Amino acid sequence: MKTNDVILRTVTKIVVFIILTFGVELFLSGHNNPGGGFIGGLVLSSAFVLLYLVFDVETVHKGIPFDFKKIAAFGVLLAVGTGVGAVIFGSSFLTQTFRELHLPVFGNTELATVVLFEAGVALTVVGVVVTIILSISEDV
Amino acid sequence: MIETMLKLSLILFSITIAIAVIRIIIGPSMPDRVIGLDMIGVNLIATIAVISIILNTKAFLEAILILGILSFIGTIAFSKFIERGVIVERKHDR
């Protein structure tokens, strides 16, 4: 059956970028405001789920040639690696630190190593959620 | 004056959500239930906006955005399931 969904496809091509931008904003505002790696990862994965809904699996895999299981594994590795790095420097596991730096454009910026941990959490959430959705939707 | 109007609008939104829940429960066909769910999402967004006006805060704006995104994706998934019977297609036939 030939279906006509031009409006849905055209809207999705714009809305996906809005959702991805909002996910990154949630991820970056997680230090002092509502947000963080988990919620940012969930919003990013909802953008991927919208792509899988509107287009089919083969088209999306042609555009995004990543294996999402490997992304989840890399996220776990990054999150654990920040904890082990603290052990290497002589403090206890998962100790986080920060430092004030004077960057040329941004001025006085506070750089924290918890951002790396949150990036690992976000990658893990994206990989696991997209893998779950694809596994459920298979075999109909 | 404006306080009274905001609280009255909250009561009216609650009545609207209750009516939509009744439509979801007794709805004769599946598209009725999907439209009822979408209507609950829109009314929840409006309720959160009115509550953030009453409390004079900006902390709930992310909740409004996330509710909008999830309501949009949920409505698309339900309607695609009703129309085609499959949600994520393996290969598009055309």
Q: What is the ipTM of this complex?
A: 0.82
Distance CA B82, CA B31 (A): 8
B91 touches chain A (CB under 8 A): yes
Which chain A residues are closer than 8 Å to B48 by Cβ?
A: none
Are B92 and A24 within 8 A, CB to CB? Answer: no
Distance CA B13, CA B91 (A): 42
Which chain A residues are closer than 8 Å to B65 by Cβ?
A: 22
Tens digits of pLDDT across chain A (140 residues): 567 789 989 999 999 999 999 999 999 887 778 888 899 999 999 999 999 988 888 888 888 888 889 999 999 999 999 888 888 888 888 787 777 777 777 777 777 788 888 999 999 999 999 999 988 887 65
Question: Looking at residue A111, what DSSP letter applies?
Answer: E
Spans of all domains in chain B: 2-84
